[in-house]
Structure 1
C-alpha cells in the first residue's frame, strides 16, 4: 500500500503524543513493506530553537516531506496541515491518514480527488484551554465536523470519545488505542548529576505543560503534603509559555518543586525509571501516551478519574476525583505513607500494560482497517 500521514509536527520527535503515534505506526508499516510518506512541519520545535534538528528526507524507510508553516500561535498547525492536504490530494496514495481534528478541515479536498481517508481523533482538541474562545477553537471544531461527515473511517482512542461521536454526529467509529514499547530501565546517572535526583526520591509528572493536564491542582495538592520527596514537572511548553511562567511563579517559594523543561533521550528514560510515583491529574485527554509509558517502566501511577485515564490504569493504579485538590493531596500522602502499596502496583503494572497496549498489534489492526476501506 501507498500510505500518507499528516497532522503531526514532525518525526522523529517527542513534541507531543501525536508525533509518537505517527512515528510508531509509520515506521512499522514501512518495515512491513508498505510505502509510507509523512508530511512534517517546517519551523521550530515548540519547546525552543535549541531542540531543532536538521530536516530529514528519510527516517527508518519512511519518506519525509516538509511543508510550509506559518510560525504563529494558532496558525502553525492550520497552515502546515492545509499545505500537506493539498500535496496529499495530488499525490499517488491508497490511504491518506489524518491525525487530529483541526487537520481534517481540508479532508474534503482529498475525497474530491478520490482518496480513501482515515482520521485518528487524538482528543477533543477544541475544548483545550489554550484555544478557548478563539478562532482556532472554531476551526478545530469545523475539522471535527468535516471528519464526521467525510472520513471513510474514524479511529478513536477511548470509549468516551467513541460515545461522543455517536451522540454528537451519529457517527460510528473504530476504537484502536495507542501502544507502548518495552523500555530499558536506566540507573539515575544523568538526573543525579543534573537535578540531584535519585531512585524513589521524587514524584514525577511528565508531559506537555498545558492547562488541561491539571498541573495547577498538582502543585496545590503537593504543597499540602508532608514529604521530602521532590515534585518533578518534566515537559515543554506547547504554545503555552505564559502558563509555564504562571506555574513557575506559583512554585517559587517551594524549593522541592523542580521544572526540567523539555526532556528526551536518556534523561527522559532515567526520569521514568526512577520515580517513586507518576502523577497525571488531567481534566482532558485522548489516550495519554505519557501514562502508558510511565506504566511500561513499572511505575505506580496516580491519575484523575476521567475515563481516558481510569480505563487505562484499571486496577493496577490509583485514581483521584478530577479537579479535587484535597482528594489528590490525600492520595499522594497515602502512597507516600504506604511504600508496600506502591511496590505492589509496581510489581503488576508493567506486564499488564505491555500485554494490553502493544504497538505491533495496533499497527496490524490499523493496516486491516486500511485494507477494508480499500476493498469497499
Structure 2
C-alpha cells in the first residue's frame, strides 16, 4: 500500500530504534513485530513504527492500528543508531505527536533526554549491553554506556528483556529500580513454515542431517568457534549457518570464506524458511559471547530442535538443564557436544514456551503502556476503536 492509505489518526505509541519489519532480520525487529502485531489486534491502541530507509523502502501497513514507515537514514556500521534515532525522534515530534515514544536499544536511547525536553513520555527497552560487542572501540563503548545511562536516568519506564539484565540494572541504578520491568523475548508455538522438502533441497540438506546456527555474521556470535568445533568433532552431515552481515567487513568475509561442501552459509532468510530449518536440524547451536535473551534459541526450541548454548548469563536465563550449556569459547567442549547424539539435548518445548509466550509478553507490554498513558489518553483510544465507521 502507498502513503495515501496511511491513517492520519494521532498514534498512541510511536516506536523507534529498529530497522523495521517485516522480513528484516534481527532480535529487536522480531521482538517489535511479534508484540506490536498482537497488540494492534487485541488492544485499542494505535502504533506507528519508524524504520530506516535502506532496510525498508516503503510504508508497510499491517492493519488499521499499525503501520511501519521508513525514515531517511544513514547506513553505517559504526554511526547508524544515533543519527537515525534523531531523525525518527524529530519526525515523531513534528509529524506524529504520539502520546508516548518507545525507544528500542541503548544506542538509540541516547535521544531520551531530548525526547523528554520535547515533552514526550518515553519508554526504553534495553535489549542487552551492546557495549560488550566486539566491534566497538573505547569511544563506541563509552557512547553506548551513555545511552544506557540516559535511558535509566530519564525514561519514564525501562523494559529489560532478560531477568539477569533486569537484576543488573536494578543493582547499578538503584534509585530507578522501581521503573525497571522485566518483559522477555519469546517464541511462537504456532510459527508458519515453508515446505521442508523445498528448503532442504535448496541447500542440499537431509532431514536430521545437519547442525544449525542462526544469527548475524558478527564476532560475538562466535560462528568461527562453531566451525572449528564441527571440523574437529567427527560429526556426520553438514553445518548450516543462517544469517548475513549488515555491513560487509573483514570478519564476515573471512567467515564465509570457510564455506565448503560440509559448511553451508545460507545468507539472510525469511522466518518461514528458518522455521523449516529449525524443524529439520539434528541440533541447534548458539555459541555467542553476547546476547540479550536469544530469540533464535527460543525459536529453535519452539520448533522442537535439540539445543546447545554457550553458558553466558543471557542464555542461561532460558533455564535449560546444565548439560545444554558449554563454556563460551571452549571449542573442545563444543566439539564433544557435536559428537554426541542430538537426542541428548532435547528440550521440554512446552515448559519453555509456557515461560516465553509472545501472547503473554504482549499483554505485559500493554501493562507498561497503560501505566504510561494518562486516563484521558486511554479513554481516547477506547473511544476511537468504538466509534462508528
Q: Cα gap change, 1:375/1:34 in structure 2, threshold over 3 Å: closer, same or farther?
A: closer
Following the alignment from structure 1 to structure 2, what is the Cα–Cα distance between the partners of residues 64 and 117? Answer: 19
Task: Point out where structure 1 has 5 or more consecutive residues left out of the alignment.
Answer: 46-52
* Alignment partner of 1:77 out of 81, 86, 110: 81
Give the secondary structure class of the aligned counterpart of 2:318.
helix
Q: Which residue of 2 aligns with 1:55?
A: 58
* Structure 2 unmatched runs, 5+: 1-10, 376-389
**How far apart are the structure 1 equivalents of 2:100 and 2:124?**
10
Aligned to 1:140: 144
In the alignment of these two chains, the number of paired residues is 358
Aligned to 1:25: 35
> Is the aligned partner of 1:8 residue 2:18?
yes
SS at match of 1:332: helix
SS of the equivalent of 2:85 reads: helix
CA distance in 2, matches of 1:126, 1:371: 31
Any conservation in 2 of the 1:180–1:358 contact (CA below 8 Å)?
yes
- The separation in 2 between residues aligned to 1:186 and 1:22, in whole angstroms, is 22
Residues 1:357 and 2:361 aligned together: no
Cα distance in 1 between the residues matched to 2:80 and 2:342 = 45
Tell me whether 1:312 sits opposite 2:323 in the alignment. no
Distance in 2 (CA, whole Å) between partners of 1:218 and 1:332 is 9
Deviation digits for residues 99-137 of structure 1, max 9, x if unmatched? Answer: 00011111112212322111101111122112233x443
Matched residues in 2 for 1:186 and 1:276: separation? Answer: 18
Secondary structure, counterpart of 2:244 in structure 1: coil
Q: Given the alignment of the two structures, is residue 168 of structure 1 paired with residue 147 of structure 2, yes or no? A: no
Describe the shift of the 1:295–1:75 C-alpha distance in structure 2 as closer, same or farther (beyond 3 A). Answer: same
| Partner deviation per Cα, 1:141-188 (whole Å, 9 max, x = no partner) | 221111011011111011221233233333322111012212246653
Query: How far 1:375 moved relative to its partner?
Result: 4.6
Give 1:130's aligned residue: 135
Report SS of the residue matched to 2:373. Answer: helix
117, 121, 124: which one aligns with 1:116: 121
1:297 paired with 2:303, answer yes
In structure 2, distance between residues paired with 1:307 and 1:114: 37
Confirm or deny: 8 A CA contact 1:275 1:299 kept in the other structure.
Answer: yes
Shift of 1:82: 0.8
Asked whether the equivalents of residues 194 and 273 of structure 2 are also in contact (C-alpha less than 8 Å), the reply is no
Task: Say which is worse superposed, 61-70 or 198-207, in terms of deviation.
Answer: 61-70
Find out whether 1:326 has 2:342 as its counterpart: no
Q: Distance in 2 between matches of 1:75 and 1:162?
A: 27
Given that residues 49 and 69 in structure 2 are in contact (C-alpha distance below 8 angstroms), is that contact kept between their aligned partners in structure 1?
yes
Asked whether the equivalents of residues 102 and 139 of structure 1 are also in contact (C-alpha less than 8 Å), the reply is yes
Q: Which residue of structure 2 aligns with residue 286 of structure 1?
A: 292
User: CA offset at residue 360 of structure 1?
Assistant: 1.4
Mapped pair 1:205 → 2:213: yes
Q: CA deviation at 1:274?
A: 0.4
- 1:157 partnered with 2:161: yes
Paired with 1:240 and 1:165, the residues of 2 have a C-alpha distance of 33
Normalised TM-score (structure 1): 0.89
Tell me the distance in 1 between the aligned counterparts of 2:246 and 2:107. Answer: 16
Determine the structure 1 residue equivalent to 2:100: 95
Find the residue that maps to 1:129 and give its secondary structure: coil
Quote the offset at 1:318 in angstroms: 1.0
Across the aligned residues of Structure 1 and Structure 2, the Cα RMSD in angstroms comes to 2.1
* Cα displacement string for residues 56-109 of structure 1 (whole angstroms, at most 9, x for unaligned residues): 252233123321212322223222111111223344222211100011111112
